[in-house]
Structure 1
Amino acid sequence: MKSKNTHRSTPAPAAENNIPDTITSGRMTFFQRLGKYLPLLIALLTGLIAIKRELWFDEALTLMNFVIPMSAGGIYNNYAIPNNHIVYNMMLKIFAMPLAESGWCDPVTVFRMFSLAAMLAALAVIMDLRGKIDSGRVFPGGLVLSVMATSMIWMNYATAIRGYALSFFWTALALYGLYDIFHDRARRGWTLFAISSVLAAGSVPSNLLALAAAVLYAIQWLPERFWRDKRFYIACAVPLLALIVFYAPIAGAFLNTFSLGEGFPSRWGAIAMVLGMYASCFGLLLIFAPWGICKQPWRCYLTYLIWLMPILAILILHRAPFPRIFVPLLPVLAMLVIDGIAKVTLKAWKAYHLALFLLLALCVQTMLIMSGYAVSAKVSLDPVEDDFFHPYYMQKNYRPSLVAHKIAGQAGDRVVFISFNSDPLPMRFYSVMSGLKCSMSVDVPNNSVKSLPDGSLAVLHTRRDDVQAFEERFNCRLQKVEEIKYVTLYRVKSR
């Protein structure tokens, strides 16, 4: 007769017997502490580097259309476009908006601080989880997370006023819940997993993919014949049920967003960006990822299908999604890389070996950041398509607040037309926040403005807008007035 515990998973074998004496001795106490807190320190420093940057289009849309004018309930009930990351926007409204209105510091910085706090909390969750998996060893998790926190993608999304940072946290929390479920802490585990699934789905619906990846990763914590364990099927069903429960009251609006046809212009370009995301976030450490499945049960090989999930989504969906929706998958991918590093560094690595390896990995990451422009050019990305390697809105030349002030000085009481390519919403945001009296006619959605009065100002992107095309569109002449950063001002003259 089979034991009642046949299908109950047991914790992974302790790795302590394989750990070099130097790691468990008092001499390594400093390095253990360094490995535990280094990812958080690096993540905080790199986040602070990017926290003062100015808004770009989607961020301005988030604040102007949802967070500032609406109540928390209104945000939930107005799901007209996928840009409304509901749970994130509601939490911004409840927790960050009062501080932003207090005048304590720049409101944009306050909103970015909320995202950074979510990402730092996610790293803390992953480090705590890896401490349990790796029998107290902190170096594997500390190394991988430190490297990831040194990437351009981290700096961008850890401070973005979008729902991806919060989604990153929900994915990390879902992994923690799954670990508890399959290690005899079922009540707490199911609670964490259910809550994180609902909130992840409510932040960005595409987080369903990250939750599915988390379940796939958890297969290694299940018995060999995992398909006989009902907990596996319940875990698979929870994210889908969470999506249904969250969006059922607004099902009509939710389904209407699929008819918008938004997406990335090229499937192969999207795949190239996903592969670039892997390299950018993990750099040199990707070489060691396969060691995570060496001498493991065959079911552990299934977890490596996680790397293919974004590519399959790009190829299967009716239109390639924007690659940024895969950022919440990074906690699961980081776990896979940490598994490999944990295997490699068990083999009699001394303290100085670990320190040199950490320095080498961080140096490679720094070079990857500096090579971002070359990568973007190699992949032939349009500047507005590149959210990973060399985003236009993270360049020094991108100053919509300065442009807004310059425009106000030139316009007087005349109408100002701002083209779609010029990123008009941030200019409008900074104009309103600064109390500038300037009547802006923004071309959102694209080509929505039908006519311009004589004497008005036209703001066109210096490189991406065709002046002749605008002259034909409005049946006018455009007389150049001034170049300001990335845009050029023109005076509209009737023909």
Structure 2
Amino acid sequence: MRINVQYAHWKKVLPWFVCAVAVFSSFWLFFRMLWFDEVLTVQLLMKLPLERIYFSYEIPNNHIVFTLLEKLWYSTVGSVMNYPYYFFRIPPMIFGAAAVFLLCRRLLRSCGILAGTALPAFFSVSMTFALFSTGVRGYSLGFFLTVLLMLCGEKILRAPRFRQYVLYFALCLLSAGTAPTNLAAMEAAALFFLPALMRRGPGGIRRSLFLFVCPVVALAVFYLPILEKFIGCIRLGEGWHSASAAAANLYVVTGLIFAGFLPFCLAGAFRIWKKIPKLRWNCVCGLLIFLIPAGVYCFFRTPPFPRVFFPLTAVWLFLLSHMLCAYLRKMENRRIFLLAPFLLQGVFCILLFQERSETASRILFGESGKRDDFLMPYYARDSFKPQKILSFLNEKLKEGEALHVFVTFDADAPSLIFASSVMDFPEGVLLMDTLNRPKRLRFQEIPGPKYIISGDEADLRRTKERFGFTETLPVMRIGCQRLDRVMDL
């Protein structure tokens, strides 16, 4: 009786503990300056009234449902107190913490204390979780909605009720409205329940069909009123520079996050395959779920950004927890083998904890951080300080230099524009091309001293050729942004 009481106590306490760990481990990224995509999100919600946001789907960057929620948050909090820019990070942080809490609470029941707590806990201290749970984008919301879909799908599996079908459709609608790419996570959730539903006869098959069809219908319902803009966003062809590089970034980083657990998870999956034949279809479907991004990268002409698959990691966590649970049950009487996965995972966690992830990112994906989208991209690094370049330029302006600065697309121009507004930098000094519009700016004709902020040497060379400049002098370089002075008379 005492053991059962203690177990029940830990089942209540541990989800809150993991939730707190998720918040505290992410907080160090809370005050970083907004980057390209975040600035576009903030500009959209501040510029437009609530009712116009849905109809302003000009670029895929607009995660509509998330932007609507951020607008409500901004309107509510901003009306009663001063609203610093980092307050925009509070809603995604809440979504991330809530998702980890619900995930841990559910896995504790199905996988036990060790496996049910370990996977969510170690994931919550990863750089990837911190990155997306503090990002002013819809990925944290997509992750949260995927967890809710898994919980709702489980209720449909066990004892379906009409209200659960309605709730499942509503969650699919919100997830699709956050980002169309969340379709991958929604279909993965359906695939997760497929083997169990197929074993339940005709009724189970009908429920399975609902789980697969519902996300597609929700996607159509949400975007049909803005179909022309939706198609226009697809035609923009925004994506990663290489399918193989995108797949490598996603799978390598995910493998690093769970590196200590992976061998033991695979051992658990092998045990399920060998000892429980009726669950072999669960293994097959689990493998297909892990291969969903690979399939997308094989068949899509424009490879999606690796970050769009962050919501899918919620389903991966369910799978990995069950796999680890199978291993632990086999080794429950062998203490050394029982502790091995946690000790090994602890070592990898220490090696990749927070700032140490930058070293791994530099080794694996290059110095610039622009080839990394899932571990520590340039905008999450300490070197991302657009305000430092602006401080230097501000000093020049105070000295009486009537300068103008052209900021290239590759230098993350929106981050500099936003930082200039936070710093009360003079308007009209920073110049940039309008996104997705013809390049009509004639920077070379503007009188006075000129500077260029570019992303790298190649970007600077292209900019000089465009405006006909022949000589520039390097002034400073901070992270992915470099400042050069035009020396042409």
Please report the TM-score for the alignment, with normalisation by the length of structure 2.
0.87
In 1, the alpha carbon distance for the partners of 2:263 and 2:78 equals 44
Change (3 A) 1:73 1:226: farther
Change (3 A) 1:95 1:249: same
Q: Pick one of 366, 380, 383 that aligns with 2:350.
A: 366
Tell me if 1:96 matches 2:89: no
In 1, the alpha carbon distance for the partners of 2:378 and 2:288 equals 33
Q: Pick one of 397, 409, 421 that aligns with 1:420.
A: 409
Instruction: Tell me the residue number matched to 1:152.
Output: 127
Comparing 80-89 with 44-53, greater Cα deviation is found at 44-53
Contact kept? 2:190, 2:212, Cα under 8 Å? yes
Give the residue type in structure 2 aligned to 1:425. P
Comparing 190-199 with 125-134, greater Cα deviation is found at 125-134
Q: For the aligned residues, what is the CA RMSD?
A: 2.8
CA offset digits 1:181-203 (Å, max 9, x no partner):
01114234323311110000000
In 2, the alpha carbon distance for the partners of 1:386 and 1:285 equals 23
Instruction: Tell me the residue number matched to 1:56.
Output: 35
Aligned counterparts, 1:221-236, within 5 A: 221-224=196-199, 229-236=205-212
CA offset digits 1:122-141 (Å, max 9, x no partner):
1122223324434xx33312
Contact kept? 2:476, 2:484, Cα under 8 Å? no
In 2, the alpha carbon distance for the partners of 1:373 and 1:94 equals 38
Change (3 A) 1:327 1:448: farther
In 2, the alpha carbon distance for the partners of 1:387 and 1:102 equals 36
Instruction: Tell me the residue number matched to 1:449.
Output: 441
Q: Which has the higher helix share?
A: 2
Instruction: Tell me the residue number matched to 2:46.
Output: 68
In 2, the alpha carbon distance for the partners of 1:366 and 1:448 equals 50
In 2, the alpha carbon distance for the partners of 1:354 and 1:403 equals 52
Q: Pick one of 57, 64, 77 that aligns with 2:55.
A: 77
Q: Secondary structure at the match of 2:473?
A: strand
Instruction: Tell me the residue number matched to 2:478.
Output: 485
Q: Pick one of 448, 455, 458 that aligns with 2:451.
A: 458
Instruction: Tell me the residue number matched to 1:17.
Output: none
Q: Pick one of 357, 372, 390 that aligns with 1:404.
A: 390
Give the residue type in structure 1 aligned to 2:127. M
Change (3 A) 1:35 1:288: farther
Q: Pick one of 299, 314, 320 that aligns with 2:303.
A: 320
Comparing 287-296 with 152-161, greater Cα deviation is found at 287-296
Displaced runs of 4 or more, over 6 A: 350-356
CA offset digits 1:197-239 (Å, max 9, x no partner):
0000000001011000000001243242667621111111110
Q: Paired residues, what number?
A: 470
Instruction: Tell me the residue number matched to 2:168.
Output: 193
* TM-aligned CA deviation for residue 151 of structure 1: 1.5
In 1, the alpha carbon distance for the partners of 2:14 and 2:347 equals 17
In 1, the alpha carbon distance for the partners of 2:25 and 2:250 equals 22
Instruction: Tell me the residue number matched to 1:130.
Output: 107
* TM-aligned CA deviation for residue 352 of structure 1: 9.9
Comparing 72-81 with 327-336, greater Cα deviation is found at 72-81
Contact kept? 2:358, 2:381, Cα under 8 Å? no
* TM-aligned CA deviation for residue 263 of structure 1: 1.5
In 1, the alpha carbon distance for the partners of 2:164 and 2:252 equals 33
Instruction: Tell me the residue number matched to 2:159.
Output: 184
* TM-aligned CA deviation for residue 30 of structure 1: 6.7
Q: Pick one of 370, 395, 406 that aligns with 1:384.
A: 370
Q: Matched residues, percent identical?
A: 24
In 2, the alpha carbon distance for the partners of 1:401 and 1:242 equals 42
Give the residue type in structure 2 aligned to 1:59. E
Q: Secondary structure at the match of 2:291?
A: helix
Give the residue type in structure 1 aligned to 2:409. F
Tell me if 1:288 matches 2:272: no
Give the residue type in structure 1 aligned to 2:263. I
In 2, the alpha carbon distance for the partners of 1:96 and 1:356 equals 47
Q: Pick one of 316, 324, 332 that aligns with 1:333.
A: 316
Contact kept? 1:285, 1:361, Cα under 8 Å? yes
* TM-aligned CA deviation for residue 56 of structure 1: 1.1
Tell me if 1:276 matches 2:252: yes
In 1, the alpha carbon distance for the partners of 2:108 and 2:455 equals 52
Give the residue type in structure 1 aligned to 2:147. A
Contact kept? 2:122, 2:349, Cα under 8 Å? yes
Q: Secondary structure at the match of 1:161?
A: coil
Give the residue type in structure 1 aligned to 2:327. V
Change (3 A) 1:98 1:492: farther
Change (3 A) 1:27 1:206: closer
* TM-aligned CA deviation for residue 97 of structure 1: 4.3
Change (3 A) 1:410 1:73: same
Question: Which consecutive residues of structure 1, in runs of 5 or more, have no partner in the other structure?
Answer: 1-20
Instruction: Tell me the residue number matched to 2:239.
Output: 263
In 1, the alpha carbon distance for the partners of 2:80 and 2:389 equals 26
Change (3 A) 1:379 1:367: same
